[in-house]
């Protein structure tokens, strides 16, 4: 009997790269990306693979129709990492731009849904 583990690693035409940092907004960005994947808005993809320049992840990202970078805080680690890897065409969602500030935004369904709604709008 063969079992296959599944993940969101197979890529897709709309890729979502999210901050997963230690702050509250990092957790919100991460959970929102997972929810967008679950709802079929796009597919969360591996930010660490971009940082590590993993060839398969790089190729899949290069072929994406749309890319969304979701940054929790104004350090913009996701945006900067994509740019350092040579990606120029992507949309950027900075959580402070929608009123979610670092160290004062609890990880709630309401805040996650706020990011999901904005991400859906951007990827539409």
Residue 103 or residue 10, greater confidence: 103
What per-residue confidence (pLDDT) applies to 68?
A: 98
The domain locations on the chain are: 14-123
pLDDT (tens digit per residue) in 13-56:
999 999 999 999 999 999 999 999 999 999 999 999 999 999 99
Mean pLDDT over 89-102 rounds to: 98
Beta bridge partners, 45, equal none
Residue 5 has pLDDT above 50, yes or no: no
What is the pTM for the complete model shown? 0.90
31 to 48, 63, 72: CA distances (angstroms) = 16, 25, 11
Q: How far is CA 77 from CA 7, 12, 37, 62, 67, in A?
A: 23, 22, 21, 19, 15
CA dihedral 70, 85, 51, 61 (to 10 degrees): 60
Q: Which tens digits make up the pLDDT trace of 54-87?
A: 999 999 999 999 999 999 999 999 999 999 999 9
**Contact indicator for 69, 19 with CB cutoff of 8 Å:** no
Q: With left for phi above 0 and alpha for psi between -120 and 50, is residue 78 left, alpha or beta?
A: alpha
Q: What is the mean pLDDT of residues 84-102?
A: 98
pLDDT of residue 12: 56
For residue 58, CA distances in Å to 21, 24, 39, 51 come to 22, 28, 24, 10
């Amino acid at each position: 009997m063969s079992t296959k583990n599944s993940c969101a690693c197979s890529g897709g035409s709309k890729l979502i790269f999210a901050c997963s940092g230690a702050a509250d907004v990092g957790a919100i960005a991460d959970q929102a990306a997972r929810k967008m994947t679950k709802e079929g808005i796009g597919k969360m993809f591996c930010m660490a693979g971009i940082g590590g320049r993993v060839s398969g992840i790089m190729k899949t990202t290069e072929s994406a129709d749309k890319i969304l970078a979701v940054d929790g805080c104004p350090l913009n680690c996701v945006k900067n990492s994509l740019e350092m890897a040579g990606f120029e065409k992507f949309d950027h969602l900075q959580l402070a731009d929608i009123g979610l500030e670092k160290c004062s935004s609890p990880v709630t369904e309401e805040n996650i849904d706020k990011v999901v709604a904005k991400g859906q709008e951007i990827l539409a």
